[in-house]
Amino acid sequence: MQKRRFHCPAEMTLHLIGGKWKVIVLWLLRRGPQRSGKLKSRLPGITPAAFSRAVRELEVAGLVRRTSNGEFPPAVSYGLTAKGESLSPIVKMLVKWGLARQGDYLQGEFEMAAFYKATAAGRARA
């Protein structure tokens, strides 16, 4: 990753995790590594290019680890590094805030929030 000068720590953090998909990828990986195809399928609306860019940037930032089995075709999985795991409480608070405030916004703007809420409820029962 190219060294860059930031004016404050929040700017650096947003640079590392900002964008439409990165926080969602971090949220989905918080419970453990996932195969690339499964992870991508849990991101409705993401294009292959956007998926590749998001996981690559998270990997370069040292937040996500890419693992390949070295076979053909390769089975690639992604998981959080220790640095990525340290963001889990922050990402959880972002999701929690969004769930609490989704009524403040037009319906449809938080369509993925219901998906993540249902996912979290299903895991809580398991």
What DSSP assignment string belongs to 26-48?
A: HHHHTTS-EEHHHHHHTSTT--H
Spatial distance between the Cα atoms of 105 and 54, rounded to a whole number of angstroms = 26
Q: Render each residue's pLDDT in the chain as its tens digit; 126 residues.
A: 567 888 999 999 999 999 999 999 999 999 999 999 999 999 988 999 999 999 999 999 999 999 998 888 888 999 999 999 999 999 999 989 888 887 777 655 556 666 666 666 655 554
Q: How many other C-beta atoms can be found within 10 angstroms of the C-beta atom of residue 95?
A: 19
Query: What's the confidence (pLDDT) of residue 126?
Result: 47
